[in-house]
Amino acid sequence: MSEIGDVWDALYSGPTSVDLRARSDLMILIQERLTSRAISVEQAARLVKVDPAAVSDLLSGKIDLFTAEELRSILGKLLDDQ
């Protein structure tokens, strides 16, 4: 029996697992930065220039709703605001 590197490798193979891993890592970073600020969903939405529903989806871990590029953009806005 072969070893599996991580959960994404177990579920998907090839470029899909790389993309999911990248989106997962980005989403975790965004979640950590948003929750550490202790701001409302509405405030976070204004900060990263998305609607509140998208922030709620991010905080809920709905990874399938975001591309890696969208997540990079959101993270960039958070880092620019430090």
Average pLDDT for consecutive 10-residue bins of the chain (82 residues)?
Answer: 57 69 93 93 95 96 93 94 76
pLDDT, residue 31, reads: 95
Q: Which pTM value belongs to this model?
A: 0.78
Secondary structure of 20-74 in the HEC alphabet? HHHHHHHHHHHHHHHHHHCCCHHHHHHHHCCCHHHHHHHHCCCHHHCCHHHHHHH
pLDDT, residue 62, reads: 94
pLDDT, residue 8, reads: 55
pLDDT, residue 19, reads: 85
